[in-house]
Amino acid sequence: MTGPDTTPFDTTPFDPAGDGAQMRFDGRMSYGDYLSLDAILSAQKPLSDAHDELLFIVQHQTSELWMKLALHELAAAKANIADGCLQPAFKLLTRTARIFEQLNSAWDVLRTMTPSDYTAFRTALGQSSGFQSYQYRAIEFMVGNKNPAMLRPHEHVPEVHAWLERIRRDTSLYDEAVRLLARTGFEISDAVRSRDVSQPYVADDSVRAAWTAVYRDPQRYWPFYELAEKLVDFEDYFRRWRFNHVTTVERVIGFKRGTGGTSGVTYLRRMLDVVLFPELWDLRADL
């Protein structure tokens, strides 16, 4: 019977160069160079001495980065659906839903900030508000919530306003899905097929009937069945993001008006009633 292993640990400092790691970067691209970390990490500029202002800035900046990626994926998913290439679209929609899972998790960090913490720097925000996020507005327009009134906060930046207007006047993700249904033989009404895509989508009985047929015979219509579920999955995470936004704001400022002038929680609760893909939710009562 042998005793416990008493071999001493090797305490010699490890040099990654001995394993082939590149250790000198004069004239070579480094990790920081590739990611432009100097620009990113110098973009946090608190306007007060409050400890939690950095948390507030980082949470919103990282959310904007995730939204940039979401727009990239949604645009590609929409293009693939328009071309009838559903398998790549499924992957992109799944990724977008997971991006919103990350955005949802960010609220958990922000909710560690108490009303007292926020009050210490709130006046430094002036009239700035997440309500004015042009990337979030672009996401809403791209997925079909096309409220023309929401362009006005961006009129002071002509290139942003023009970009948002182009997205608003283009087909939405859901428009392309419904058009694909029509092209493959489902009976979609003329009102839907010729509608003004710059306006908010209105639920239609013919679209509901088409999706209901898909759900009643998923084996026959499997690609559309999977497309429908990918869209529902995305909207599920998107709704959770809105809900978490409401509860976070209520937890931190109660029913005060938002810094951007909205009614705060009351306004955000109204947004919870917006449904992006109405027939996909309504049909569940028919099955």
d(CA 173, CA 31): 35
Annotated binding-site members for substrate: 56-60, 118, 122, 259
| Per-residue CA distances from 163 to 74, 141, 277 (Å) | 16, 11, 24
Annotated binding-site members for heme: 245
Instruction: Please give, one letter per residue, the 3-state secondary structure of 106-157.
Output: HHHHHCCCCHHHHHCCHHHHCCCCHHHCHHHHHHHHHHCCCCHHHHHHHCCC
Annotated binding-site members: 56-60, 118, 122, 245, 259
User: Which residues have C-beta within 8 Å of that of residue 203, sequence separation ≥ 6?
Assistant: 278, 279, 282
